[in-house]
């Protein structure tokens, strides 16, 4: 199984400032078709998970452009350019390359 | 508007069974692979199973933790997804979400349905 790790596990951030979350996979997430099957999901308190980024860097429908995904191979980053109050929650990276699909442990983003 | 509405959760004794349903609307259900993901109280996300679309022969994959106990099915004519859960264990206690696959990830829209396995 592909193991997903995230750092940090908790991230106190200042409103209006940037934030960054790292994710690493135990093997490359690049498919033979050239796509990288790494995605990011946000879970606000008491809410279901929400898809933010798929295929490494594609923002899903309705996701603000302050969210961006980058990386390559086994190392990935989610960046929030300017943190807003509604960004508080837990962020998960996920690999969709092969079953069993696996998630990182989550990074809790909270306001300082 | 895409909607996914889960139902069927509840309290069940260890060893018991439960059938979850997911009603889909707002997109072409038959085109999408569908999945169940769960979240134990206070814990992270765990993928449970996936059933592919008709073009991919409705092939199914399960997490090792549920294989042999859970059965996923879909009815494309009814835009519905089901999860038959048998031989339930305490560790199956979780909120269960259904999601449509989007290029290797999942789009969740519902609030989930809570399954509690306890005597």
Tell me: the pLDDT tens digits for B1-47?
999 999 999 999 999 999 999 999 999 999 999 999 999 999 999 99
Best mutation target among A31, A46, A49 (most B Cβ atoms within 10 Å) is: A49
Over residues A17-36, the pLDDT tens digits come to: 999 999 999 999 999 999 99
User: Any CB–CB contact under 8 A between B104 and chain A?
Assistant: yes
Beta strand segments in A1-112, E: 4-7, 10-13, 19-25, 38-43, 50-54, 58-59, 67-72, 75-80, 89-95, 102-103, 107-111
In whole angstroms, give the CA distance from residue A90 to residue A62. 19
- How far does B114 lie from chain A, in Å, by closest CA? 12
pLDDT band at A14 (very low <50, low <70, confident <90, very high): very high
> Could B106 and A49 be called an inter-chain contact, meaning their C-beta atoms sit closer than 8 Å?
yes
Chain A residue closest in CA terms to B50: A99
Average of per-residue pLDDT values in chain B: 97
- Position A67 scores a pLDDT of 98
Per-residue pLDDT band at B116 (split at 50, 70, 90): very high
Contact present, B12 and B88 (Cβ < 8 Å): yes
Residues A81, A27, B35, B49: is their CA dihedral positive or negative? negative
């Amino acid at each position: 199984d592909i193991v997903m790790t995230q750092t940090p596990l908790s991230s106190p951030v200042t409103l209006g400032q940037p934030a960054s979350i790292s994710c690493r996979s135990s093997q490359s997430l690049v498919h033979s078709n050239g796509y990288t099957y790494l995605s990011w999901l946000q879970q606000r308190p008491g809410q279901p998970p929400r898809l933010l980024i798929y295929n490494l860097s594609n923002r899903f429908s309705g996701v603000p452009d302050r969210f961006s995904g980058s990386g390559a191979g086994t190392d990935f980053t989610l960046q929030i350019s300017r943190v807003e109050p509604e960004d508080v929650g837990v962020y998960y990276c996920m690999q969709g390359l092969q079953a069993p699909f696996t998630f990182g442990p989550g990074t809790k983003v909270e306001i300082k | 508007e895409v909607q996914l509405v889960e139902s069927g959760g509840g309290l069940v004794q260890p060893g018991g069974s439960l059938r979850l349903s997911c009603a889909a609307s707002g997109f072409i259900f038959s085109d999408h692979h569908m999945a169940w993901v769960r979240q134990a109280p206070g814990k992270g996300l765990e993928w449970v199973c996936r059933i592919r679309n008709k073009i991919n022969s409705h092939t199914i994959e399960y997490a090792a933790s549920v294989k042999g106990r859970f059965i996923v099915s879909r009815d494309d004519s009814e835009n519905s997804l089901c999860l038959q859960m048998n031989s339930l264990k305490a560790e199956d206690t979780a909120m269960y979400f259904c999601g449509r696959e989007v290029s290797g990830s999942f789009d969740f829209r519902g609030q989930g349905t809570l399954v509690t396995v306890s005597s």
